[in-house]
């Protein structure tokens, strides 16, 4: 689920805390035109508008959104007496939306948190009982998306795969994560789901090893879980039960949730790394703030956003910045993975700037374990990419 906010709102500590604790993806708009683009598609989203953001164009984008789009709106403005009297009409139109929350213009964490949770609850599609029953009956399953990695011989080999959870719903068939992860967050079930994915992945690694396949696994870690003081112990216990080294697993954590270097949840990351787990900074963006976080946070790898790669391909300046970031990561002892690779042109481009790993539909979509074993097993042609 997205949180859409303007650059001005992004600077608020309350916003960064909400993004982390609700495991939202923060997306910034700088103009009404950008906002209109972000309202396209059908992903569930929460929109945060300050009084300075409100205009007829913004309201029109909300009112004209695709009928299948689900969203909530948090308005940080004085509904009755705004400082800018020209937006009174726009405020009246906002009040007519189905899922809108009003908070004080000088909002704090508490008011923003309550409003965001209220918006999210109105968009929930699945009941807690449904999810708990499916966890108990093990109706969730894991698919694996391979990555390729540059080897010492300049060949690219499959040595790692990302574990991606799916739901085999008794009525609706296979359901993707975007359809149920917001509910998992809302009902406090993300810890149980991550335990399940880690347990399944560890068992699968053992099965692959018996077939001669040596792989490592990447698992997405919801930011809200970083406040769980038992997380590290549970992860160590699950992996230890299968007699696997912790270094076999990499936890991926979203970048926008780690902006504050003094935040308590960073202790959890440090403790995971101390146990031997690898950490990946997911969704890395080519910005000054990203560079600062790269230098001070305890990560082994960075995963670069597909959009940053696309921009660098067509902009000489951004290309130099991206190449410099990869060089900096290497100097700090980190590997670099590029996501969303869908064509050979991008693959060849990334080879020239020394990217270490690649992932995307060009390599493989997420597949079931048996298919991965068949295609990427010892001696198979797909084990290597020239």
Whether 363 and 148 have beta carbons less than 8 Å apart is answered as yes
Asked if pLDDT for residue 210 goes beyond 70, the answer is yes
Residue position matching structure tokens 């000489």: 316
- Residue 120: pLDDT band with limits 50, 70, 90: very high
What are the φ/ψ torsions at residue 292 (nearest 5 degrees)? -65, -45
Tell the burial category of 122 from Cβ atoms under 10 Å away from its Cβ (0-12, 13-18, 19+): middle
Could you give the angle at which helices 306-313 and 316-331 cross, rounded to 10 degrees? 130
- CA-nearest of 211, 229, 284, 232 to 253 is 284
pLDDT of residue 97: 92
> What residues have CB less than 8 Å from 371, skipping those under 6 apart?
none
Confidence at 256, pLDDT banded by 50, 70, 90: low
- What phi and psi values does residue 13 have, to the nearest 5 degrees? -60, -35
- In whole angstroms, how far apart are CA 94 and each of 23, 54, 69, 250, 263? 26, 9, 16, 43, 35
Beta bridge partners of 71: 45
Bridge-based pairing of strands 45-50 and 71-76 is: parallel
Residues whose CB is less than 8 angstroms from the CB of residue 16 and which lie 6 or more positions away in sequence, other chains included = 10, 26, 256, 257, 259, 260
Q: Which of 10, 72, 12 is nearest to 39 (CA)?
A: 72
Q: Taking the alpha carbons of 231, 249, 287, 73 in that order, is the dihedral positive or negative?
A: negative
Q: What is d(CA 286, CA 307) in angstroms, rounded to the nearest whole number?
A: 10
State the average pLDDT over residues 48-62. 93
Structure tokens at 214: 């040596």
Q: Which residue has the higher pLDDT, 104 or 81?
A: 104
Helices (H), 28-85: 32-38, 56-63
Q: Report pLDDT for 385.
A: 47
Residue 263 pLDDT: 65
Contact 190, 224 (CB under 8 A): yes
User: Could you tell me if 255 and 285 are in contact, meaning their C-beta atoms sit under 8 angstroms apart?
Assistant: yes
The H or E element that residue 234 is part of is helix 231-241
Say which range, 13-17, 54-58, 184-188, 321-325, has the weakest mean pLDDT. Answer: 13-17
More confident residue, 315 or 12: 315
Please report how the helices 13-21 and 109-122 are oriented relative to each other, as an axis angle in degrees rounded to 10: 40
**Residue pLDDT, tens place only, 142-199:** 999 999 998 766 688 888 999 999 999 888 888 888 889 999 999 999 999 999 999 9
Map 161-197 to HEC letters.
EEEEEEEEECCCEEECHHHCHHHHHHCCCHHHHHHHH
- pTM for the model stands at 0.84
């Amino acid at each position: 689920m997205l949180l859409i906010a303007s650059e001005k709102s992004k600077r608020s500590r309350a916003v960064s805390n909400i993004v982390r604790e609700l495991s939202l993806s923060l997306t910034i708009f700088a103009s009404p035109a950008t906002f209109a683009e972000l309202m396209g598609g059908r992903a569930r989203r929460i929109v945060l508008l300050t009084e300075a953001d409100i205009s007829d164009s913004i309201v029109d984008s909300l009112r004209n959104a695709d009928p299948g789009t689900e969203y909530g709106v948090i308005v940080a403005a004085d509904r009755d007496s705004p400082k800018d009297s020209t937006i009174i009409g726009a405020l009246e139109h906002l009040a007519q939306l189905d899922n809108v929350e009003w908070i004080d213009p000088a909002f704090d964490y508490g008011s923003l948190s309550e409003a965001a949770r209220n918006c999210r609850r109105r968009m929930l599609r699945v009941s807690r009982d449904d999810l708990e029953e499916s966890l108990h009956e093990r109706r969730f399953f894991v698919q694996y998306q391979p990555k390729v990695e540059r080897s010492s011989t300049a060949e690219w080999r499959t040595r790692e795969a990302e574990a991606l959870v799916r739901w085999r719903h008794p009525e609706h068939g296979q359901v993707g994560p975007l359809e149920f992860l917001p509910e998992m967050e809302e009902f406090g079930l993300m810890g149980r789901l991550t335990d399940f994915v880690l347990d399944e992945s560890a068992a699968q690694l053992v099965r692959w090893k018996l077939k001669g396949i040596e792989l490592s696994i990447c698992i997405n870690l919801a930011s809200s879980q970083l406040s769980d003081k038992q997380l590290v112990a549970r992860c160590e216990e699950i992996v230890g039960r299968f007699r696997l080294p912790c270094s076999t697993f990499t936890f991926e954590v979203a970048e926008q949730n780690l902006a504050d270097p003094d935040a308590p949840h960073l202790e959890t990351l440090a403790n995971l790394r101390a146990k031997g787990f690898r950490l990946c900074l997911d969704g890395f963006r080519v910005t000054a703030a990203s560079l600062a976080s790269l230098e001070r946070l305890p990560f082994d790898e960075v995963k670069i956003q597909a959009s940053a790669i696309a921009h660098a391909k067509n902009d000489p300046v951004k290309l130099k910045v991206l190449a410099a970031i990869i060089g900096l990561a290497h100097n700090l002892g980190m590997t670099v993975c590029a996501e969303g690779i869908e064509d050979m042109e991008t693959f060849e481009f990334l080879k020239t700037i020394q990217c270490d790993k690649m992932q995307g539909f060009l390599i493989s979509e997420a597949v079931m374990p048996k298919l991965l074993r068949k295609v990427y097993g010892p001696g198979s042609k797909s084990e290597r990419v020239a």
